[in-house]
Chains A and B, each alone.
Chain A
């Protein structure tokens, strides 16, 4: 499983990437939308974990642009705006269950990524 983590907080993405690597997941990271787009162009990822609030662009907008380059890639969103309303509107946008609040529990994240990929496999 190859994962791309996108968040402007480098400390966060690097640590998260390292933790995922420790769990045997190939994790790559990007700290801006541009970086993410170029990485996706070069490598194919199974799942992208996007921060909802990125500099210049929202996570949802970035998702659309990434989908153009890599159809079939799955997305999970994380947010620091931890209110329930944000959660509801975010979930509606991201799809039920693929919207997580910071700080993210690593086990929960891994489970979500598994679910996302399995969801793809289940689809014909």
Chain B
């Protein structure tokens, strides 16, 4: 396993997935060699998951992101627009309020000549009329062309005050109108002043000055505030001093914390986005011919409330869809890759069986060739030795020499033994090429045992073969059966020490089948290995000539004949291999 695989592995284990990973995850096909990348199932799985997830999720996420942005923008611009409309409407109301009062004053100075206004009684009458018909007027004063307040009606003692060198007075003379900032009056109530000019025939002008209670503004603006959650509608002057009370932005005549927005003839809306403070949406409008700026300030999060709900739904939907899609993709990929893996396992198994039978066939041909070639020189040795013996016995030359006779006889018997071996080998190979036939299992097993007979003798292993009387001949492939029994019996021999016992029991099994049990009293197989012994390349003798293929091939051969093989084993007690074979084999490939 390389470093990257190791990391993935650790990660998987951390998430508790390691144990639940499918079989193919940890599989590495040692025999794939050059084609290894083709059989990297983990990579196949990862690629399948990434590709399908990419194709499915990227458009979904892009769509969701676009929708998110579009909805957010539309909500935001809707908010800005709404604020702008509100500011415009309110500005109109405020302007109207002021121009209404200005027009009233203008009407008074046109309707009454200077002499008429010079009467305190008349002025009181007018103030009373203004209060009842317009409201908001506090006092009224007439200032003569020299800047003296000639007549004053109202709550203060302002008669005779000289305004001639005051800025506002000069402004009225210049522009014909003056509207003051708010100021705190005598009773600590904010007021503002409106003054209008009236030209006299002589080229001189007098001024009518009225004080207004800003309470009427406040009513107007609080009606607006009612419509804005957590917002404020108020007036400031050009220096940023509050002209009307606010809920969140300070008291009247305090300086506002927001910088004074720059002049614009139209209604403007902007956002502040200072770090650490709540972002605000501010709408403002300069009110024409007055020192006032109307401001409506709203807290953005408050306005965006409905958007946050929509956003939660959108993100929730996205999260649920992504989870569902990933779940399905991972599930499908796992199932499919596992199927490919299983198919590949079968392919590898079959490939190995074919490879093995090819090898066996090659070895067989080789052995047959060797046996063949050896027979002729053996015959020569045999005849030569026979001739020597003939000469001794028939001519009587060394007939009495027991040692020489013994030597010649030893040569003859050795050659006979060799001849037996080649005969068996050739016969065995010939059987391997044979297909079906009626077979006596005992005979087959006895022939197989003849190959290990000598070894059994050397190692004092007692062999017994028992066949129940009711076991019929079976129709099967002799060559394959011989290979199966040879493998199982060789394994039993490898497991046994000197003086072991090997028993072969041939019995009638249930239905149309026969069972052959090969029992040894050897070292046994550990419980944890029992499941693996039929897997290819599983071997405990790898260092000592085992290829780990024997039992996997055997199991493949047994299956090929339509049979089954099981194993039972106890460590240090011995092992039973039971092979159940059908009476008739359906011809199958593999």
Q: Say how far A28's CB is from chain B's closest CB, in angstroms.
A: 16
Q: Mark A55-87, 1 if CB is under 8 A from B, else 0.
A: 000000000000000000000000011111110
Instruction: List residues 1-53 of chain A with CB under 8 A from any CB of chain B.
Output: 9, 11-12, 15-16, 18-19, 22-23
Contact flag A103-B419 (CB < 8 Å), given A9-B379, A15-B380, A22-B391 = yes
Q: Is A94 an interface residue (CB 8 A)?
A: no
B375 and A83 form a contact (CB under 8 A): no
- Please list 29 pairs of residues, one from A and one from B, whose beta carbons are closer than 8 Å in the complex, sorted by A's number: A9-B380, A11-B383, A12-B383, A15-B386, A16-B383, A19-B383, A19-B390, A22-B390, A23-B394, A80-B376, A80-B379, A81-B372, A81-B375, A82-B371, A82-B375, A83-B426, A83-B427, A86-B430, A101-B419, A102-B378, A102-B419, A103-B378, A103-B379, A103-B382, A103-B415, A103-B419, A104-B379, A106-B386, A106-B390
Q: Say how far A111's CB is from chain B's closest CB, in angstroms.
A: 15
- Cα-based distance from A74 to B430 in the complex (angstroms): 30
Q: Is B395 an interface residue (CB 8 A)?
A: yes
Query: Chain A residues near B390 (CB, 8 Å)?
Result: 18-19, 22-23, 106
- Cα-based distance from A104 to B381 in the complex (angstroms): 11
Instruction: List residues 81-112 of chain A with CB under 8 A from any CB of chain B.
Output: 81-86, 101-104, 106
Contact flag A12-B427 (CB < 8 Å), given A22-B395, A82-B419 = no
Query: Chain A residues near B376 (CB, 8 Å)?
Result: 9, 12, 80, 102
Q: Say how far A91's CB is from chain B's closest CB, in angstroms.
A: 15
Instruction: Closest A residue to B375 by CB, please name it.
Output: A80
Which of these, B382, B386, B394, B426, contacts A82 with CB under 8 Å? B426
Query: Chain B residues near A101 (CB, 8 Å)?
Result: 419, 423
Query: Chain B residues near A11 (CB, 8 Å)?
Result: 380, 383-384
B380 and A12 form a contact (CB under 8 A): yes
Query: Chain B residues near A15 (CB, 8 Å)?
Result: 380, 383-384, 386-387
B423 and A83 form a contact (CB under 8 A): yes
Q: Say how far A7's CB is from chain B's closest CB, in angstroms.
A: 9
- Cα-based distance from A84 to B427 in the complex (angstroms): 6
Q: Say how far A49's CB is from chain B's closest CB, in angstroms.
A: 12
Q: Say how far B34's CB is from chain A's closest CB, in angstroms.
A: 41
Q: Say how far B418's CB is from chain A's closest CB, in angstroms.
A: 9
B384 and A80 form a contact (CB under 8 A): no
Instruction: Closest B residue to A85 by CB, please name it.
Output: B430
Query: Chain A residues near B387 (CB, 8 Å)?
Result: 15, 18-19, 22
Q: Mark B34-75, 1 if CB is under 8 A from A, else 0.
A: 000000000000000000000000000000000000000000
Instruction: Closest A residue to B391 by CB, please name it.
Output: A22
- Cα-based distance from A101 to B382 in the complex (angstroms): 12
Query: Chain A residues near B382 (CB, 8 Å)?
Result: 102-104
Query: Chain A residues near B394 (CB, 8 Å)?
Result: 22-23
Q: Say how far A58's CB is from chain B's closest CB, in angstroms.
A: 15
Q: Say how far A19's CB is from chain B's closest CB, in angstroms.
A: 5
- Cα-based distance from A120 to B383 in the complex (angstroms): 28
Q: Say how far A85's CB is from chain B's closest CB, in angstroms.
A: 5
Instruction: Closest B residue to A20 by CB, please name it.
Output: B390
Q: Say how far A44's CB is from chain B's closest CB, in angstroms.
A: 26
A102 and B430 form a contact (CB under 8 A): no
Q: Is B552 an interface residue (CB 8 A)?
A: no
Q: Say how far A67's CB is from chain B's closest CB, in angstroms.
A: 26
Q: Is B422 an interface residue (CB 8 A)?
A: yes
Q: Which of A81, A83, A86 neighbours the largest number of chain B CB atoms within 10 Å of its CB? A: A83
- Cα-based distance from A19 to B372 in the complex (angstroms): 24
A83 and B430 form a contact (CB under 8 A): yes
- Cα-based distance from A18 to B371 in the complex (angstroms): 27
Q: Say how far A18's CB is from chain B's closest CB, in angstroms.
A: 6
- Cα-based distance from A102 to B395 in the complex (angstroms): 26
- Cα-based distance from A11 to B384 in the complex (angstroms): 8
Instruction: List residues 410-441 of chain B with CB under 8 A from any CB of chain A.
Output: 415-416, 419, 422-423, 426-427, 429-430
Q: Say how far A123's CB is from chain B's closest CB, in angstroms.
A: 31
Query: Chain B residues near A18 (CB, 8 Å)?
Result: 387, 390
Contact flag A103-B383 (CB < 8 Å), given A9-B376, A80-B376 = yes
Query: Chain A residues near B427 (CB, 8 Å)?
Result: 82-85
- Cα-based distance from A103 to B375 in the complex (angstroms): 7
Which of these, A12, A19, A82, contacts B423 with CB under 8 Å? A82
Q: Say how far A17's CB is from chain B's closest CB, in angstroms.
A: 10
Q: Which of B380, B384, B391, B423 neighbours the largest number of chain A CB atoms within 10 Å of its CB? A: B380
Query: Chain A residues near B381 (CB, 8 Å)?
Result: 103
Instruction: Closest A residue to B384 by CB, please name it.
Output: A15
Q: Say how far A81's CB is from chain B's closest CB, in angstroms.
A: 6
- Cα-based distance from A82 to B428 in the complex (angstroms): 11
- Cα-based distance from A31 to B213 in the complex (angstroms): 151
- Cα-based distance from A84 to B443 in the complex (angstroms): 14
Query: Chain B residues near A81 (CB, 8 Å)?
Result: 372, 375, 426
- Cα-based distance from A110 to B422 in the complex (angstroms): 24
- Cα-based distance from A80 to B391 in the complex (angstroms): 26
B380 and A80 form a contact (CB under 8 A): no
Query: Chain B residues near A12 (CB, 8 Å)?
Result: 376, 379-380, 383
Q: Say how far B373's CB is from chain A's closest CB, in angstroms.
A: 8
Instruction: Closest B residue to A103 by CB, please name it.
Output: B382
Q: Say how far A112's CB is from chain B's closest CB, in angstroms.
A: 16
- Cα-based distance from A81 to B384 in the complex (angstroms): 20
- Cα-based distance from A22 to B371 in the complex (angstroms): 31
A-B pairs, top 3 by smallest CB distance, nearest first, are A103-B382, A80-B375, A83-B426
Q: Say how far B450's CB is from chain A's closest CB, in angstroms.
A: 13
Q: Say how far B414's CB is from chain A's closest CB, in angstroms.
A: 11
Starting from the known contacts A15-B383, A102-B375, 12 additional A-B residue pairs (CB-CB under 8 Å) come to A15-B387, A16-B383, A22-B395, A80-B376, A81-B426, A82-B423, A83-B423, A85-B430, A101-B423, A103-B378, A103-B383, A103-B415
Query: Chain B residues near A103 (CB, 8 Å)?
Result: 375, 378-379, 381-383, 415-416, 419
Instruction: List residues 482-507 of chain B with CB under 8 A from any CB of chain A.
Output: none
Query: Chain B residues near A23 (CB, 8 Å)?
Result: 390, 394
Instruction: Closest B residue to A10 by CB, please name it.
Output: B380
Query: Chain A residues near B378 (CB, 8 Å)?
Result: 102-103
Instruction: Closest A residue to B420 by CB, please name it.
Output: A82
- Cα-based distance from A104 to B426 in the complex (angstroms): 17
Query: Chain A residues near B426 (CB, 8 Å)?
Result: 81-83, 86
- Cα-based distance from A101 to B375 in the complex (angstroms): 9
Instruction: List residues 271-294 of chain B with CB under 8 A from any CB of chain A.
Output: none
